[in-house]
Amino acid sequence: MAIICTVVTPCYNAEKYIYTTIGSVLNQTAFLSGRAELDYIIVDGNSTDSTINVIQETVNSHRLGKYVKIISEHDNGMYDALVKGMKIAKGNIFSYINADDFYNQTAFDIVIEIMKNNDVKWLTGWQIGYNEAGQIISLINPFYYRKNFIKQGLYGPVLPVIQQESTFWRAELNQNINFEILSKFKLAGDYYLWTEFAKHFQLYIVETYLGGFRHRKENLGKSGDYRSEQLDTVIGKLSFYDKITLFFDRIFWKYNGKDGFVGKLKMRISQVVHFVFDQDQNRWVTLSGYPGKRTIERFLYKRKKR
């Protein structure tokens, strides 16, 4: 079956950064090489600046422009625009990127390889932050995203977020989404998606740079409103066991090293959900297998007898 990747970019008055966002999609090595077909949907909410002109000029000047669909009409916000794109998506791999963020050039090559060779429904990479100039200013290698903690709304207010710009999923998961509910969100629609996905499937972590979030002055001050909407997605309450697990998870998230008892225990716990690149095998593998000859992995795993 042909691999088609759908990307949706909702935008409104995004003339300053939309060029970079579109370029990060069109210049993916997976699409330029023909490894996968691009299905790119840009949904503009009737911008009042030059956004639509920038979009058209950027798309028309690129050889992959024929794979881009542009919609420009009134909408009720970012997630209403996203839903418009989701409803006409053709791909079997799905993601969305907002109009001031951007992907690493090899992101889709990595996503395709992992999903092609593993029963992975959704995955995420490093949490990358950019400044307004597009320079990387922060990086977090995620520890573990527990399904029950996602459903209980802990990622963001208590534990680090699930970064939307680095998250990709099989399009079949969109069948679990109530588009009417999603379209009504203003800020936390991504967490609604994660909650619905986590009802059924584990989120995997790929130890690499896939995409990132641009920090801008306009983004500041919205965390309280986001949290208010996020609470609407919460399912269930924390049990005593959950509280104990949460206590240790907070320690593991803060501990960045891989050495020492804490580092080794951290890797042991999260091994089944982490993909790393094995240079010996020249492919992405989970840490639950023997990934190579690195010191820490030698400690954790015993080489199988030949």
Question: What pLDDT was estimated at residue 65?
Answer: 97
Cα 291 to Cα 5, 122, 275, distances in angstroms? 28, 21, 10
- Torsion, CA 177, CA 178, CA 179, CA 184, rounded to 10: -120
**Local mean pLDDT, 10-residue blocks, the chain (306 residues):** 95 96 98 98 98 98 98 96 98 97 98 96 97 93 95 92 98 97 94 96 97 82 68 80 94 81 84 91 79 37 38
- Which domains are delineated in the chain? 4-233 (3.90.550.10)
Nearest to 94 by CA among 46, 164, 181: 164
Q: pTM of the predicted model, to two decimals?
A: 0.90
Distance of CA 9 to the CA centre of its chain: 14
Nearest to 90 by CA among 110, 68, 105: 68
